[in-house]
Structure 1
Amino acid sequence: MDPGFPLFPKLPVEIRLAVWEYSLSHWTVITFIRDGERVKLVGHFPRNVGDTCSEARSVMKKSHTFTKNYGWLRFDRYIFFFRDIWFDREIIRSIDDGFCKLIQIAIFFPRSFTKFLETMEFTKGLFISLQKMVVVAQWDDPDNTPLEVEAQRVFCGETPDRRDMFRSSPSEIDFSTLFTDIQRGKAFNEASVANYRKKLQQVYEFSQQHPEILQEGDLIDNTYTALWWVFQQLDAIFQFQIPNMYLRTRDELMVPRIPEKPGALFRPLRGPSRPTRRSGRLAAKTGVEIE
């Protein structure tokens, strides 16, 4: 025990137990990295607090679960970060099956909605205890826009450059508001997602009534009807038992970079790109210079 507060053992038992409970209840995000044949956990979580004394250990055993390779972990507070199976398939396969079955909360940052659906197919039989999942993607919100405009939005499909958000570790992402939203409870979030799906349904129905506005008659070419289709696929994958979903965009979680000098909004990741033959041809063809 830290000798910096020698009077701590003299505090009432109720206060000491409350201190240990608080110390062991912090939210954190954990990612996986390969270290030779092993897969290591990376994140900020109090590994040694529970071993401080017998009192702390008894509190830890009530809320944490012992795992063979990683010791005691609190699965209702630890959020495990994945991208998609294109990046993390081998990592997921390398994690002990017993560990995968304990994961309750996960974040997915897929390259595209197609990759996201493939990831759900791949993990649904592994993450059998998954209760909440955060999906970072282009969740465009059809709000306060005429249906005629919404129904003509062209679908992009791919997320923005992931390097803009995930530069080296999840510590560069601001999860504080996400932790708060998760603690607000399941009912609040379910109502939010249900309202979002209702909006998508309205756009889909409008598109069906006015097929002439679809891009080349293809349903998936439209932003909102494509998102509607994603949820239909999720219903099929999870048999209408989708884990509680938290829909977030990259911009909502991005940590602002510190300005390099007064007047600079963001510190650039790299200098301006040099002209290429392709950009030169496009400039000659369109009259627009591409940087």
Structure 2
Amino acid sequence: MDETLGTALRRWRDRLSPADVGRTSRPGRRAVGLRREELAELAGLSVDYVVRLEQGRATSPSAQVVASLARALQLQPMERDHAYRLAGLLPPQEGTISTHVPAGVQRMLARLGDFPVGVFSADWTLLSWTPAWAVLLGDPSARTPVERNLVRAVFGAGPSGLAAWPVLQEGDALRPALVADLRTALVDCPRDRGLVGLVEELRSSSAEFTRLWDEGAVGPHVSARKTIVHPQVGEVTCDCDVLTVPGCDVRLVVYTVAAGSADAEKLEFLRVTNGVRTDGPLPPGPGLFSTP
């Protein structure tokens, strides 16, 4: 029997446990692997669409859908390419930006759920994030991939970028660093139409981006110190570090604070309340977030 995308999705879904994706398995759970509802949530798709894909009633998923499913299912690169071919699509080519998040990075994120961590592609599009990221900066799930691009957000919508509320940065290093990093990405991925189009779009719409781009700086964006003006707990000042993954295009943006600080207490409060507004005071004691 020939394999279809639907049969492959079911096989890949069945081999994952809730713990692999940072979920708690409740006593008495009978489902083997992930439920369709869980896969749909992880991939940002409707449950009905996942059902139709698995049943073979949806036969022409877009490359964006396949990429989202590959990330959610923690596929290895060869499995990801197989998924593209089963969908009748060409796998990502050399010289283009990969949005694939390796399984090892996915498992690490599942175990770092208490930390605000976002995973970005080489063009600074947010691919995935931990629950703590969502409560600290606002849930990005309602945004389109275009709206989740940090460079476009910074140069088009002010310093808040992807956050749902204001984010203040010490100094003026973010914008030059992002432009320099984007130029480096263009050298590495010259055939990526999305990246080329992003640069052309920003050069035509932002005088500041054009000026910085024409200066010709090249280099990675690595770290910053930021203050998030959160509507529930007020100002939270964090160190923001960018970690790269050898052999992979993605980078992890990690927010940390000093252990035992007021900022740590605020982050812990947001974590335990899931960002839900309450009338009670912040819980006492040290937070769980600490600088390396």
* TM-score (norm: length of structure 1): 0.26
* TM-score (norm: length of structure 2): 0.26
Q: Larger Rg: 1 or 2? A: 1
